Amino acid sequence: MQPHHRRAVLWVIVATQVCLALATAAGVVLVYRHLDGNITPGADIVNSAEKRRYAGDGEPLNIVLMGTDTRCGAGNRIDEENADCTEHSDTTILLHVAADRRSAYGVSLPRDAIVDRPACQVDGRTIPAEEETQFNVAYDVGGPGCTATLVSALTGVYIDHYLSIDFNGFREMVDAIGGVTVCLPEQIRDEDHGIVLPEGTHVFNGEQALSYVRVRHGVGDESDIGRMRRQQAFLASLVNQVRSAGTLTRMDRVTGFLSAMTDSLETDPQLARASALARLALELRRIDVDQIQFLTVPWEPYPADPDVFVQWAPEADRIWRRINQDAPLPPGLTEEAISAGQPPGVTPSVSPPGAPPSAPATSPGAGATATPEQDTEEQTTANRRVGLCT
């Protein structure tokens, strides 16, 4: 295997979650011309924050990843919900990539959070602002561009890019890599949506994976927050699967994965070419899976309707400050974080031959003060609460 293959990381973050597939540098270069016409360019991002200057080489990246719940379009009519073709951001993650490109963390943003949405521009028209509205409605009224604009306004973080994918793209990507390993401590049975998934460790195909990341009832505490944590665990397992030698050494799987991803992908105009994704992949080739973490924004019940809605807790501001400083995650927020290097209940995939050892975390993802034993206890409790293996 050539040295640049050994160094490359096929790094993907998916949602519905959203999916960001950044394949081996060589693999992307080989296929990007074929994939270039697949990507749909969306609206520009209107940032509330200014682009910051950073000391040293490089600069961090902040990317909003979205998974849409539309039932329109090929392969998306999975049930009779949203029959009028309305669509929301079923899942949203703010991904921060460190300036040194050696670590990253994704912060899940609850779709049922109540927020004040700023005005945004779509196709030359203004979508008016709205106070005390549900977070995921921004996608319905203005698409992914308005959602990215909303995230910038709420966090004070400059957003460099966004990516959005639908149900069908997610399903086909999972099938393209031969499925993803998922561990269930007990059977999931959601009678209302016809979802039944067996207890134990299984390799889920695209249809099963889609059911798993969507299901809310009949598993764990049946909360949307709990579903978000299960989605994070699925992403961690997906990253491991794509990172494994079994995927990286098979160009048919790499090509199939990228083709499925780009065919259902909408991005900001600056990223709407496969060549732009290829350049981004080259930048991210040094990230090891052990340095990719997922967590949920601190939240609390929304006082006016605490059984249905949530709001971001004041502690969330600590995360946004760290992102703006390109700094490690703050102590106290990493105990329940899920690492792509160790998905809950799943044995990590074998890294490609010659892959580098994990580098010490010197940027985002480092800095937690809890001991490994404390981390394990916190993660075990959080995983059990939402129906994950431990």
Domain ranges of the chain: 3-386
Provide the 8-state DSSP code for 186. S
Which residue, 199, 237, 192, 238, is CA-closest to 214?
A: 192
Tens digit of each residue's pLDDT (9 = 90 or more) over 309-319:
999 999 999 99
Amino acid symbol at 323: I
The Cα 66–Cα 320 span in angstroms is 19
The Cα 139–Cα 373 span in angstroms is 40
Tens digit of each residue's pLDDT (9 = 90 or more) over 58-83:
899 999 999 886 545 444 444 445 45
Tens digit of each residue's pLDDT (9 = 90 or more) over 85-109:
556 567 899 999 999 988 999 999 9
Helices assigned H by DSSP within the chain: 3-7, 25-35, 137-155, 167-176, 206-214, 224-243, 245-248, 251-263, 274-283, 316-324, 372-386
Annotate 222-248 with b (16+ C-beta within 10 A) or e (fewer).
Answer: eeebbbbbbbbbbbbbbbbbbbbeebb
Residues 6 or more apart whose Cβ sits within 8 Å of residue 373: none
pLDDT at 254 exceeding the cut of 80:
no
If you search the block for the tokens 């249809």, which residue do you land on? 207
CATH of domain 3-386: 3.40.630.190
Which residue, 382, 372, 370, is CA-closest to 344?
A: 382
The Cα 280–Cα 258 span in angstroms is 14
Of residues 390 and 13, the one with the higher pLDDT is: 390
Of residues 294 and 221, the one with the higher pLDDT is: 294
Query: 37-41, 68-72, 255-259, 265-269: which has the minimum mean pLDDT?
Result: 68-72
pLDDT at 385 exceeding the cut of 60:
yes
Secondary structure E strands in 71-153: 89-97, 104-108, 114-117, 120-122, 125-127, 130-134
Of residues 95 and 243, the one with the higher pLDDT is: 95
pLDDT at 298 exceeding the cut of 50:
yes
Q: Residue 191 — pLDDT band, cuts 50, 70, 90?
A: confident
pLDDT at 373 exceeding the cut of 50:
no
Mean pLDDT, residues 149-175 taken together: 91
What whole-number percentage of the chain has pLDDT above 90? 37
pLDDT at 303 exceeding the cut of 60:
yes
Q: Residue 56 — pLDDT band, cuts 50, 70, 90?
A: confident
Mean pLDDT, residues 349-366 taken together: 42
The Cα 202–Cα 180 span in angstroms is 8
pLDDT at 25 exceeding the cut of 90:
no
The Cα 152–Cα 175 span in angstroms is 34
Q: Residue 218 — pLDDT band, cuts 50, 70, 90?
A: confident
